[in-house]
Amino acid sequence: MKLASDSVLQINFTKTPFKIRLFPNDVISQKYELALFLPEKSSFVAKEMTMLLSMSFLFISILIACFIYFIRIVILQKRFSLSIVDFINNMTHEFKTPISTIALASEAIAKPDILKSKAKLLQYNSLIADENSRMKHQVDKILQMAVLEEGEFELSLSDVDLHSIIQQAVKNISLQVEQRNGKVIAKLEASSFVMKGDAVHIANIVHNILDNALKYSPSIPEITIETKNIESRISIQITDTGIGIGKEDLSRIFEKYFRVSTGNLHNVKGFGLGLSYVKLIVEAHKGTVAIDSKLGSGTTVEIIFPV
């Protein structure tokens, strides 16, 4: 460190705030003061405080990150709780209808005039069997999702003809579409459409998406399903002209129990498990699934599988 001249030091000692009078009670003696001048005070303090400030900043950053994480977890838990409530309400509604139908059919069978008619007995018996099958299907669906999420399922792999599965799915849904004066258009243009997969699960996801396309089409449904090859993969696109999905719902579309708000449509039923099931099965086959949609402009679901 370079020493300053005596005059400069004297001025610095005079101006320094770090000084105190010596022998303050001595009246006769001269006034003596002890002065302390620190020419590199700022850099010295900063150097000594660097580690402490760094640790303090790190600790505060960790606290802020933990607080943000905690708030995020609380929001997610609240959202999940609301989804569970909606799921229970939907499940109650789904089970209430067939239970009521079975109860009414059972009461009708007990009536004397019905007992005398074999045709009526067979009709009510068939109705009870159908409603019972419907409830069993819903229960199986819930249990199946639990098994899939735990990863405790095995795919029964074989050569799967995707075009054949799509054609069968289109055939199955065509009657419902035609009853509403709609149409299903199949454009199967892929030249390579055989893959290793589980035929049952793949058929289920195609049926799920087609079923959603039909349910969320409030007017005359128009559904297009097309395939094409992209390098060593096959793309399956299912497009509808339904009510579409808003931005706020699109980011959560694959969440378990989540159901898209349907506005004035009150006839759309379900547990909110369909698309989460689709995502699980597609990813289990090393594929990808994406949804493009705008509110009021329909929806396109694209599934890509390796072939």
d(CA 269, CA 211): 11
CATH of the domain at 115: 1.10.287
Residue 137, in any domain of the structure: yes
Q: Sort 1 into a burial class: Cβ within 10 Å, 0-12 / 13-18 / 19+.
A: exposed
Three-state DSSP class for residue 242: coil
Structure confidence by residue, pLDDT tens digits, 187-213: 999 999 999 998 888 988 898 899 888
Residue labelled with tokens 């005596």: 6
What does pLDDT average to over the chain? 80
Segments forming the whole domain that contains residue 30: 6-35
Q: What are phi and psi of 265, to 5 degrees?
A: -85, 115
Question: What's the pLDDT band for 154 if we cut at 50, 70, 90?
Answer: confident
Per-residue confidence band for 223, with pLDDT thresholds at 50, 70 and 90: very high
Please name the helix (run of DSSP H) or strand (run of DSSP E) that holds residue 141, with its range, or none. Answer: helix 118-150
Domain boundary among 126, 150, 174: 150
Q: Identify whether residues 86 and 143 lie together within a single domain.
A: yes
- Who wins on pLDDT, 264 or 11? 11
* Residue 62, domain member (yes or no): no
Give the global pTM: 0.59
Q: How many domains does the chain have?
A: 3
Q: Are residues 131 and 112 in the same domain?
A: yes
Q: Kindly report the CATH number assigned to the domain that includes residue 229.
A: 3.30.565.10
Residue 75 lies in a domain: no
Domain boundary among the residues 150, 176, 192 is at 150
| 270 and 170, same domain (yes or no) | yes
Judgement on whether residues 22 and 95 belong to the same structural domain of the protein: no
More confident residue, 266 or 129: 129
Residue in 258, 254, 271, 255 with CA at minimum distance from that of residue 142: 271
Residue 210 and residue 158: Cα distance in Å, rounded? 23
Is there a domain that residue 194 lies in?
Answer: yes
CA–CA distance, 77 with 70 (Å, rounded to integer): 10
Q: What is d(CA 75, CA 110) in angstroms, rounded to the nearest whole number?
A: 53
Do both 266 and 297 map to the same domain? yes
Whether 170 and 302 share a structural domain: yes
| 199 within some domain | yes
Distance CA 256, CA 274 (A): 8
What angle in degrees, to the nearest 10, is found between the helix axes of 162-179 and 199-215? Answer: 30
